[in-house]
Chains A and B, each alone.
Chain A
Amino acid sequence: MDILGIPILSFLIFFPLAGAAVLLFIKNESPIRVVTLLFALVEFVASLPLFFKFDSAMAAMQFLEDGWWVEAYGISYKLGIDGISLLLVLLSTFLTVLCILCSWTAITFRVKEYMISFLFLETGMIGALVALDLILFYVFWEVMLIPMYLLIGVWGNPQRRIYAAIKFFLFTMAGSVLMLVAILVLYFINLKATGKSTFDVLELYKLGIPVTTQYWLFGAFALAFAIKVPMFPFHTWLPDAHTEAPTAGSVILAGVLLKMGTYGFIRFAIPLFPNAALDLTPLISWLALIGIIYGALVSMMQPDLKRLVAFSSVSHLGYVMLGMFALNTQGVQGSIYQMLNHGISTGSLFLIVGMIYERRHTRMISDFGGISKVMPVFAVFFMIVTLSSIGLPGTNGFVGEFLILLGAFRANTLYGVLAAAGVILGAAYMLWMFQRVMFGKVTHSKNEGLKDLNAREVVILIPMVALIFLMGIYPKLFFSKMDASVEKFLKDFKGKVEMKADLPAPKVAEIKK
């Protein structure tokens, strides 16, 4: 499928860049905003055919593009999506539009640079999600880093933005450098085994790697991804980054960037190194469980709204990881669904916090109280999003959470029980926060005259709320897209793990070596 003669995936990657180039020639702030919004909207509309033209019955990669980039080293320009990446791509193009909209009045200086950063970021995100070549993926992975670093460091909160930006950068870099080394090792192992020089991930899937080596390589990939997710105990960059970033930065960070970590596991770390993944499942599951409970408990005590939401992300992403490493249909599907859910519900929470922040210039829970009375429309949206976040049936959050819990329960009863206990805490910290912000009497005089949401803000929140209900009430629409790919993922995984067990050298002996 082509758009303007360009294959659709390439178009989606480079169209935002073209937008950034156009912005260079515009001087005034208002047209910059309008043009950026137009580019983001066209990008979103252009991504919709992916959903409708996607063949649900097909498990393999679709919309494939294959060409050389650096042929001498086997670096290809290979793109494609399956049922796992499809919905994440759509989530990215969708959230970018909302991010541009919510930055409309919030960003008042260096608007051009801001918008250019955002469009760059979009290129990086889409690229990383559709790349099927490890080097290409790595390049996009790093491309995402820089605009995000700038968004936090330049447009963040004056007090701590530099600390937060550098922390974000260093944490992420620390992981990704090791991943680069692992990519190169993988390349040489493959070269030795097959004589073919390639970074094509679909080719590399076929490689049989000794289990001991798998541990090292999986470790390097997993570290990079675990930091990005972020999994306990690598999560401490997240609250700082979220708190200091501008609203749109937080939205895109929570909505898409964190998903790069979980996506990395499901696309690269697990299928490339299945035996290591299987053996390390208990470790990752326990870290995920600790993240669920720990994130919830710490979140409960946060005085700052954004930090509270940030820690809730740690908890929610714990569910995503737990479901994925249940390695059964319900777990993995729930995990993918929860990635989308988290993008929508936590993204909305950040939007909502941003909206009252713009009015009150504070994020402290204790500065609010009784807001329901003053801003009734806002209250309705906030309530719905809160309920989605705590996974109430009828909202998207329930579907994902339920499947993850069921998947985890089937994998290991104890995991299921502990994770289900986390659901209680989820209700506790969200409702307590909601009560302190929205209920009670208005105690601060500054809160008395707050204006309710304006039309632009309502336009931002309505699609979010619509998705919350659509995904909660008719999930089949989305599951049908991912069914085949998830089944293939699990089949391949099981096939490889069993094949390994049949090898002449038994697994245990290899570990001892």
Chain B
Amino acid sequence: MLDYVWLIPLFPFIGFLINGLLGRRLGKGVVSVVGPSAIGLSFLTSILILFELINKPPSERLFEKVIFDWIVSGSLQTVIGYQIDPLSILMALVVTGVSFFIHIYSVGYMHDDPGYTRYFTYLNLFVFMMLNLILANNFLLMFVGWEGVGLCSYLLIGFWYEKDSAANAGKKAFIVNRVGDFGFILGMFLLFTSLGQHGIWTLDFTEVFANASKLDTTTATAIALLFFVGACGKSAQIPLYVWLPDAMEGPTPVSSLIHAATMVTAGVYMVARCNILYNMAPIAMAVVAIVGVATAIFTASIGFCQYDIKKILAYSTISQLGYMFLAVGVGAYSAGIFHLMTHAFFKGLLFLGAGSVMHALSGELDIRNMGALRKKIPVTFATFFIATLAIAGVPGLSGFFSKDEILWMAFSSGRGHFLLWLAAAIAAGMTAFYMFRALFMAFFGESRVDHHVAHHIHESPKIMTVPLMVLAFLSIVGGYVGVPHVLGGANHIHEFLAPVVGGGIEPAKAHAGFSLISEAWAAGGGEGHSAALEIFLMALSVVIALIGIGIAYFLYLKNPALPRMLTEKWNGLYRLVSNKYYVDELYQILFVNSLKKLGTGLWRGFDEFVIDGTVNGIAYFIGWLSGVMRKTQTGFVQNYAFSIMLGGVVLAIYYIIRGIFY
């Protein structure tokens, strides 16, 4: 079965071709079957391959399949080739699995859209590109998928292209991602040429990582940082996160699939894939961790003041991605991938839930115009509630296990730090707060729904609610593959990924920043020290999350008038945050406007004035000169006779003078 790895991306590609070339003629019915089943087949293939992989001993869980030669030029020899290992198969399962259910949901959600066929064409193409990204066995093919998913993201954000805001958002996403890709491509070049200096000309993962130790620390750091620039673009981290909130212009299932569950996690996947490089570059890792945790806090704070339910979820996604980067930044690669997986479940679900709410409320997005929906759309509510509990880190749900592993590693890893833990714990509290704020405002309290809309409120059809239930189930149980040892679990996922990402960084022996508590626990000593500390921190983070929930409860259910008073009292701060710290405006002035001005200046000033001015000036000068010269051509014989005579006289004088002096 491993030999058939190419089937995984092939099915969506076939779906893309059928829908794209023939979809209009075949009709909606066929498209609705082709789109989801293409992904379903990929999912099944992935499962079969997973079983085959598990049956092998961990050290042999790597399989590569070259399909054909791609760009071959001198020392650059690249192939289209796929690779199966624990990391890529896990990603493939998450991507195809979540995609499958979102495709099914889309059949219901997009049913009446005139662009139905186009939608599934793009969606299938997206899955194809995403699978290329994660199954690639070399950097270049990964880059193909990387830009390919960017293209699909562009097309799907701008799916309703007649809306200017949608078209703008699509363009913004593409261009901001290109800035990231600039880093990725330079990272590739530097890697290629640096290894080339040691006689190894390759972009193949296996070969690169086997020889990575030949690189010196500076080079490894530079490469790792350049790749991270790429990751910042695709996974929306500071300073390149600005495109993701705007990307909510796309259809909601797209936000769920591309802008929450799969594509935006590609950066995390890349860092995990390159763990050997990052491990060689402590500074790069520190940058990854700090950017991650800073993004987590910064965007969570923006989430406080948003009213658009999709925007809240978007900032939440950015924030959670920051969490994943924190994990990989402290060397906890498997924890990062674990959170990537659980996040795919609960965040995918939250978006689908938001879509179901919009479906019920004729497209309403503003949580100020919702309220008391829990009875009207019970399935949507129940699943949304489960997802909210999961993301808030309530014990027992998937988000709790993955988030807690990150928090623990941020503290205990050799690359971790007390401050990283603290910031991450605060971000966790913030997450719990803004998620419950949204939940309370949308589903509890009094209804603020417009009465025209209120008549039509209805639960979504089965084709939409079943995917919700499946994802809700996964949001609950998805965490049990990674129950930490300290809670008596086996942490299967950690063990499964170990052949690719290693056992992680050695835990720190003594922690400077946290010495007080450390010492207090040191009394216990030995093994028990670390276990007890882990449980204590876990409890602490649960308390922080509960505080966040409690504040949300107090403000939005108990005293719904209070938030308004607070925003009036702290009006300046509120406006700063609700305007997203004016970062978009700053970028507009700094980059967009200035480049436009420069372009106009160069065009009018240099092209037209300097160059063409010179050229035309020469032409006019010659014209003028010949105009002057023409005056001598009068046509009168007397004038010419006079000139001849004059010439004769001048010559005569010349010879006379010459005769005198020589």
Contact = CB atoms under 8 A, between A and B. Distances in A.
B178 A440 contact: no
Interface stretch (A94-102, A194-202, A403-411): A403-411
Contact of A424 (B71, B182, B615): B182
A402 B161 contact: no
Contacts of A393: 143-144, 147-148
A438 B161 contact: yes
Nearest to A426: B178
Contact of A423 (B171, B178, B189): B178
Interface in B130-167: 140, 143-144, 147-148, 151, 154, 158, 161-162, 164, 167
Interface centre among A170, A236, A421 (most CB of B within 10 A): A236
A428 B143 CA distance: 19
Nearest to B184: A420
A435 B599 contact: no
B173 to A, nearest CB: 10
Nearest to A166: B619
A68 interface: no
The A interface is mostly helix, strand or loop, or mixed, namely helix
Contacts of A171: 615
A329 B174 contact: no
Contact of B602 (A167, A298, A420, A439): A298
Contacts of A175: none
Contacts of B147: 392-393, 398
Interface string B594-632: 011011101100110001100100010000000000000
B162 A439 contact: yes
Given A236-B612, A300-B599, A370 B162 contact: yes
A295 B379 CA distance: 56
A420 B185 contact: yes
Contacts of B599: 297-301
Contacts of A372: 161
A216 interface: no
Nearest to A409: B189
Given A373-B162, A409-B186, A329 B168 contact: no
A330 B68 contact: no
A405 B179 CA distance: 15
Interface string B178-194: 11011001100110110
Interface in A383-436: 387, 392-394, 398-399, 402-403, 405-406, 409-410, 416-417, 420-421, 423-425, 427-428, 431-432, 435
Residue of B193, B595, B599 most packed against chain A (CB within 10 A):
B599
A interface residue count range (under 10 / 10 to 19 / 20 to 34 / 35 or more): 35 or more
Nearest to B140: A402
B62 interface: no
Interface string A468-480: 0000001110010
A481 to B, nearest CB: 12
Contacts of B382: none
Interface string A434-449: 0100111100000000
A409 B162 contact: no
B175 A475 contact: no
B72 interface: yes
B59 interface: no
B175 A427 contact: yes
* Residue from A300, A393, A398, A438 with most neighbouring chain B CB atoms (10 Å): A393
Contacts of A297: 595, 598-599, 602
Given A233-B611, A329-B73, A431-B175, A300 B595 contact: yes
Nearest to B603: A298
Contacts of A264: none
B70 interface: yes
B74 interface: yes
B644 interface: no
A429 B640 CA distance: 62
A432 B171 contact: yes
A302 interface: yes
B76 interface: yes
Interface residues of B, number: 49
A329 B158 CA distance: 40
B171 A479 contact: no
A417 B222 CA distance: 13
A225 B346 CA distance: 60
Contacts of B162: 370, 373, 439-441
A105 B479 CA distance: 66
B506 interface: no
A294 interface: yes
B76 A403 contact: yes
A9 to B, nearest CB: 27
Given A387-B151, A393-B147, A431 B174 contact: yes
Contacts of A424: 175, 178-179, 182
Contact of B71 (A170, A402, A427, A438): A402
A31 to B, nearest CB: 36
Given A393-B148, A409-B193, A417-B186, A475 B600 contact: no
Contacts of B606: 294
A214 interface: no
B112 interface: no
A190 interface: no
Nearest to B158: A439
B69 interface: yes
A474 B168 CA distance: 33
A348 interface: no
A438 B171 CA distance: 13
Contacts of A427: 174-175, 178
A334 B73 contact: yes
B74 A420 contact: no
Contact of B151 (A170, A239, A392): A392
A425 B596 CA distance: 11
User: Interface centre among A298, A330, A392, by most B CB within 10 Å?
Assistant: A298
Contacts of A298: 599, 602-603, 607
B611 A236 contact: yes
A138 to B, nearest CB: 24
A432 B174 CA distance: 11
Given A409-B193, A424-B179, A302 B603 contact: yes
Given A298-B599, A475-B70, A420 B182 contact: yes
A301 B75 contact: no
Contact of A476 (B69, B143, B148): B69
A328 interface: yes
Contacts of B611: 233, 236
Nearest to A240: B612
Contacts of A117: none
Interface string A326-352: 001110011000000000000000000
A372 B147 CA distance: 23
Interface string B228-252: 0000000000000000000000000
Contact of B144 (A301, A328, A373, A394): A394
Interface in A138-176: 167, 170-171
Contacts of B161: 372, 438-440
Given A329-B74, A479-B73, A435 B607 contact: no
Nearest to A474: B68
Contact of B73 (A236, A330, A420): A330
17 contacts: A170-B619, A236-B611, A297-B599, A298-B602, A298-B607, A301-B596, A301-B603, A329-B75, A333-B74, A392-B147, A393-B147, A399-B71, A402-B71, A403-B71, A409-B190, A424-B182, A487-B74
Q: What 3 A-B pairs are tightest by C-beta distance, nearest first?
A: A329-B74, A439-B167, A393-B144
Given A236-B615, A439-B158, 5 more contacts: A372-B161, A393-B148, A399-B71, A403-B71, A406-B192
